[in-house]
A and B are shown apart, each in its own frame.
Chain A
Amino acid sequence: MKKILRHRMFWPVIALLALIVLNTIARPSFISITVQNGQLYGALIDILRNSAPLMLVSLGMMIVIATRGIDLSVGAIMAVSGAVALTIIADSPSPDDLGTVLVAILVGVLVSLLLGIWNGFLVAVVGVQPIIATLVLMLAGRGVALLITGGFITTINSAPYKFMAQGYVIGLPFAFFVSIAAIVIVALIERRTALGVLTEAVGINPEASRLAGVRARGIIWGAYAASGVLAGFAGILYTSNIMAADANAAGLYIELYAILAVVLGGTSLAGGKFTVAGTVVGVFTIETLRSTILFLGVPSAVAPLFLAIVVVIVVLVQSQRLRGAVAKLAQALRPKKPEVAR
């Protein structure tokens, strides 16, 4: 029991479960899942589906944060990759052709990779502070996306593209499988190779790592590149959901949600130790919150305030210091009893 309580995933998971329970109490239909035409429907399924872009972005953000960095440009990269992919499809004579769609996705993601490499170059080679380096693209990226779409919101009709975010496979949303694939790939690369522990070493003590022979530059560079690729895929999923490339709205504020998800999952912003599982829980927590707002019909004007309050509560629940203070207070208030055994 004590072991479970001490586990670092305990409080993040509790926070997520508490949210689900509260939602269910407010409206029991929250946890109901129905089957129509062999496909599952329900609020929880929506969460699995809608969380996919944030999941991809957060996984990339986690790796970057582990190196003591931060990537503010992920939202802008999403906008660029979506714009690239949709422009290719819109300009193609056969938008419903699977080949066209695959090319569009590939090019969109490759462009994102280049943007990630650019970020990594600024941070790892030039030595610009991560927050400044990625701020450049955060601001400039949407301009690039607008340039690609010619200033319009490009819309398309393409069944294969639409399938990405809206299709179903064996009863579950395809986007969920994309999430799973990303989680598994990131976990395998980080934990099955030594990349994870070397990344943590660089994040915890860059100078000691350098002297120990760790190729810190490559590791940091790679982290930003990975973040770029993942944001690129997220941009594809996002545009597939609305079938339009909106350079201004795509991935708006997602960098902030991603940072929040990573931190809720127990990775320190100071860099170092990270957990993939924690980030996954963090993403689901945030997505559950967002659907709570919709589900409870919170007026859109107060939605940000609602979100803020709940986030503060979640963070407080996870705060070790606060829990310690509460425990102490409880002990002080309890009538004094002679202490016998344990």
Chain B
Amino acid sequence: MDKKVIGLNLEHYDKALCGSIVGAASLFLPYAAKDGTSLSLAKTALSLPGEGKLTFFVCVVWVLVLTGVLSAICAIYSRFRTGVGSVKLCRNLQAINTLSFTLMLFVSKYVLTESGLLSGFLNRNLSFGYYLGLIASYFTLIRFMKTTKTDRGYILLTILGVIWLFPVLWILLTALRKEQGYYVGYFFPHALTFQNFVELFSHPSVLPFGRWWLNTVIVAVSACVVNTLIVLGTAYVLSRTRFAGRKPFMNILMIIGMFPGFMSLIAVYNILKGLGLNQSLMALIVVGAAGAAMGYHVTKGFFDTFPKALDEAAIIDGANRFQIFLHVILPLSKSIIVYTVLGTFLGAWSYYIFPSMLFGDKQSSYTAAVGLFWLTDMRRIETYYTQFAAGAVVVAVPIVILFIWLQQFYVDGLSGSVKG
């Protein structure tokens, strides 16, 4: 096309036009074929009943046919009367058309078998007319987006977003589901309720979830404070001071860190028993703090980027090393502190192996992770699945809150908090 219109990239227009015409034509080609009967999308749309429980799915078919035809007409019209508005209209029509074409993959079976048009339909019975239409619709949409200078990334992000949120949505819906049970044969619950959340907290003798939740908060908060202090202290000393044995110490830490951690859990358990700490929350905090120093790497790397002049200036002003740590380094390290705190906090909520070994059957000191996992045991999962999902949501709440609250410190990112 030789025309020029500001805001449009018309070199892709002709291809888009061809695509939309092919798409419209494919509506009249065989869409589904089984045992000798074949149906085109247009014919299906016309022969579907207008009311009944099918409504939503029938609408998809109607919208598909309608937008397919309209998009082609609009494209032909814009070929002669080209303008930003009309091409954008084409694009939007085509987007709806593409969406409904994609949806047909999921609703065809339901629509065709429920309306009695084709019994025993499976997606492998879809005919070439459908696939031609599907490919043409995506092709056309991409060309229209190129014409209107819209980023094609939206298509991809939409598809990926749906896939990524699918399990999250499932957890949420299960948590709100009124019908109990593990396996149900549908995605959307028949009835919604908050009862699952109430149940979690209302039977402390059978299912002490409140206690578990509180235990985890205690462990997570103390771990945050203690571990973060230890990590910061270790990283500071290893990064900003020089002393005999510094390098060997770092090497030893690295070597220790390369052994799989739970190899030695049995021994840790026995040592804790010897110290009289077993089956208590204290043990969890102590063991966590004992190993915290091994996570010094990122923080040390961060401290390494501070200029030496910073310390030297403070020393001239008469500050000792401890004061430098407290008054110079820490105020500059907000983002790394946030990073450490978040990591520790998240870790405390999802730490499972060691606590489960430590607490054994002492339910009152379970953390939320151990408790929730206990609920998914073969014997309990059928009864407690919805509560388990509700518990998962409750566990996610403090993490999300911390995430949002800490985000304000995190904006600067990890790079370059000291300039020059």
A and B bound?
A: no
Task: Name A residues whose Cβ lies closer than 8 Å to a Cβ of B.
Answer: none
